[in-house]
Amino acid sequence: MAVSMADITKLRKMTGAGMMDCKNALTEAEGDFDKAMKIIREKGQAVAAKRSDREASEGCVLAKVADGFGAIIALKCETDFVAKNEDFVKLTNDILDAAIAHKCKTLDEVKALPLGDTTVAQAVTDRSGITGEKMELDGYMTIEAPVIAVYNHQNKNFLCTMVALNKAVEGADRIGHEVAMQVAAMNPLAISEADVPADVLAKEKEIAADKARQEGKPENMIEKIAMGRIGKFYKEVCLLKQEYIQDAKMTVADFLKAADKDLTVTAFKRFTLRAE
């Protein structure tokens, strides 16, 4: 049967599928929109199954905050071309908005959310059918706090961070944003020494001690030398002890205390699509 341009356009707005896909689906469905949408959806499922073993290393990472709840999410795909597509970015944004509105704690909760006339999980599958690429949600992280700042690195949607402060102070948004930039640039492991995982610390001590022995240091000095090197390690991986990227003469802790003597970071999250 002949399909009108108006119907094709209508189906395209409903599904986001390409013009030819919409035309073919409407033709096969003999003009029935419900059947046409089912055809497009089934195509998405077929594409998703066929490309399940492919690597989705590109994508769109976004972060937002609303009412004391912040979240980062990544919608991953195979190519940079698709990652920069306006509809793909919009889908990522819509999913993040829904996740924040429902204050979802897990990725499974996000996938089960309603989105339009379907679920988030199905919407991702549908988009996979439209683009012909594998797609998957990843990197879902949340923070709940009175003050949360987010940073999208260079607004390129491949690296986002969030930082929570313990109290609201004058200029808190700017201060939080600066620290979120620090997290993006310096990739800290923990907030402070106390937050470094025990297994990581034990491994670093072992490495430091072995290095000292290889350098021929006296055995009775090994422990002291190793602990000195652990001190340097803390300065590299602990956010509050890192040199502040905007002024190397102070630490991040110094920067925060300059605004308020009790101001500190209570949590941070970081997600990137780039290998580091």
pLDDT in tens, 88-132: 999 999 999 999 999 999 999 999 999 988 899 999 988 888 888
One domain for residues 84 and 22: no
Distance of CA 60 to the CA centre of its chain: 8
- Decide if 186 is inside a domain: no
One domain for residues 75 and 139: yes
pLDDT at 190: 97
Comparing 86 with 11, the larger pLDDT belongs to: 86
One domain for residues 96 and 120: yes
pLDDT digits (tens, 9 = 90+) for 120-150: 999 998 888 888 888 999 999 999 998 999 9
Number of structural domains found in the chain: 2
- Decide if 27 is inside a domain: yes
DSSP state of 218: -
Cα distance between residue 144 and residue 186, in whole Å: 23
Last residue in a domain, options 113, 144, 175: 144
Q: Kindly give, in sequence order, each residue whose CB lies less than 8 Å from that of residue 175, ignoring residues fewer than 6 positions away.
A: 149, 165, 169, 255, 256, 259, 263
pLDDT digits (tens, 9 = 90+) for 181-236: 999 999 999 999 999 999 998 898 888 888 878 887 777 788 787 777 888 999 99
> The pTM is what?
0.81
Distance of CA 230 to the CA centre of its chain: 30
One domain for residues 92 and 129: yes
Strand ranges, E, within the chain: 58-66, 69-77, 114-115, 118-119, 136-144, 147-152, 159-165, 243-244, 247-251, 265-272
pLDDT at 11: 76
One domain for residues 45 and 65: no
Residue 123 burial by Cβ neighbours in a 10 Å radius (0-12, 13-18, 19+): buried
Last residue in a domain, options 144, 171, 202: 144
Comparing 6 with 192, the larger pLDDT belongs to: 192
Report the candidate in 149, 143, 239, 229 with the shortest Cα–Cα distance to residue 186: 239
Q: Kindly give, in sequence order, each residue whose CB lies less than 8 Å from that of residue 117, ignoring residues fewer than 6 positions away.
A: none
Residue 13 burial by Cβ neighbours in a 10 Å radius (0-12, 13-18, 19+): exposed
Cα distance between residue 133 and residue 54, in whole Å: 9
Contact 142, 71 (CB under 8 A): yes
- Decide if 177 is inside a domain: no
One domain for residues 39 and 85: no
One domain for residues 110 and 82: yes
One domain for residues 135 and 76: yes
pLDDT at 212: 79
Q: Given pLDDT bands bounded at 50, 70 and 90, which one contains residue 51?
A: low
Q: What is the CATH number of the domain that holds 136?
A: 3.30.479.20
> Which of 11-20, 65-74, 196-205 shows the lowest mean pLDDT across its residues?
11-20
- Decide if 35 is inside a domain: yes
C-alpha distances in Å from residue 169, one per residue of 70, 146, 181 = 19, 11, 19
Q: Kindly give, in sequence order, each residue whose CB lies less than 8 Å from that of residue 191, ignoring residues fewer than 6 positions away.
A: 238, 239, 240, 265, 266, 267, 268
One domain for residues 19 and 80: no
One domain for residues 105 and 62: yes
Cα distance between residue 81 and residue 79, in whole Å: 5
Q: What is the CATH number of the domain that holds 31?
A: 1.10.8.10
Domain of 88, in residue numbers? 58-144
Comparing 226 with 47, the larger pLDDT belongs to: 226
